[in-house]
Structure 1
Amino acid sequence: MTETTAAPARRDAPPSMIERMTLILDAFNGPSARLTLEDVARRTGLPRSTAHRILDQLVRQRWLAHHTFGYGLGQRALGLGGQDGGHGKIREAAAPYLHELQVTTGLVAHLAVLDGAEVFYLDKLGGRLASSVPSRVGGRAPAHSTALGKAMLAWLEPEQVDALLGTGITRLTSRTIGELGTLHQELHRVRQRRGLAFERGESFPGIACVAAAIRGAEGPVAGLSLVGDIHTPLENVAPLVVTAARETAQVLFPGSAAAGRGGRTRRPHADRPVPEHTWSTATMNRLLAVDGRGDWM
Structure 2
Amino acid sequence: MATAQIDDAPAAMIDRVASLLESFVGQRPLTLAEIARRSHLPRSSAHRILQRLVELGWVERNDFKYALGFRMFELGSQFTRQRSVHRAALPIMTELHRRTGLTAHLSMLTGAEILHLERVGIAPGYAAEWATGARQSAVLTAAGRAMLAELPEAEWPELSFPGPITPYSIHTAALLDRDLERIRDRGGVAIDAQGSALGITAVAAAIENGGAGAQFAFSLSGATRTLRVDAAIAEVRTAAATVWRVAAGVPPLRPRPVLVRRG
* TM-score band, normalised by shorter chain: 0.5 to 0.7
> Which residue does the alignment assign to 1:153?
148
> Which residue does the alignment assign to 1:264?
252
> Which residue does the alignment assign to 1:164?
158
User: In terms of mean alpha carbon deviation, does 143-152 or 231-240 score higher?
Assistant: 231-240
Unaligned 5+ residue runs, structure 2?
A: 1-48, 60-67, 255-263
CA gap 1:175/1:25 in 2 versus in 1, 3 angstroms: farther
| 1:266-285 alignment, distance < 5 Å | none
* Paired positions, count: 191
Mapped partners of 1:24, 1:118: distance in 2: 32
> Which residue does the alignment assign to 2:38?
none
Larger Rg: 2
Mapped partners of 1:193, 1:253: distance in 2: 24
For residues 236-276 of structure 1, the C-alpha deviation after alignment (integer angstroms, 9 at most, x for no partner) is 22201100100111112245xxxxxxx6258xxxxxxxxxx
Aligned partner of 1:28 among 58, 62, 65? 58
Deviation at 1:221, TM superposition (A): 2.7
| 1:67-216 alignment, distance < 5 Å | 73=75, 84=79, 86-126=81-121, 129-130=122-123, 132=125, 134=127, 135-161=130-156, 163-166=157-160, 168-216=161-209
2:158 match: secondary structure: helix
For residues 185-223 of structure 1, the C-alpha deviation after alignment (integer angstroms, 9 at most, x for no partner) is 211211111111000111111111101111121167311
Mapped partners of 1:213, 1:223: distance in 2: 4
Aligned pair 1:249/2:244, yes or no? yes
CA gap 1:186/1:95 in 2 versus in 1, 3 angstroms: same
Aligned partner of 2:222 among 225, 228, 251? 228
Could you tell me whether the CA contact under 8 Å between 1:169 and 1:180 is conserved in 2? no
CA gap 1:183/1:101 in 2 versus in 1, 3 angstroms: same
Measured on the aligned residues, the alpha-carbon RMSD in Å equals 2.9
Could you tell me whether the CA contact under 8 Å between 1:120 and 1:138 is conserved in 2? yes
CA gap 1:181/1:206 in 2 versus in 1, 3 angstroms: same
Output the amino acid matched with 2:92: Y
User: In terms of mean alpha carbon deviation, does 84-93 or 146-155 score higher?
Assistant: 84-93
Higher helix share: 2
* TM-score normalised by structure 2 residue count: 0.64
Mapped partners of 1:131, 1:174: distance in 2: 18
2:215 match: secondary structure: strand
Unaligned 5+ residue runs, structure 1?
A: 1-18, 36-71, 256-262, 267-297
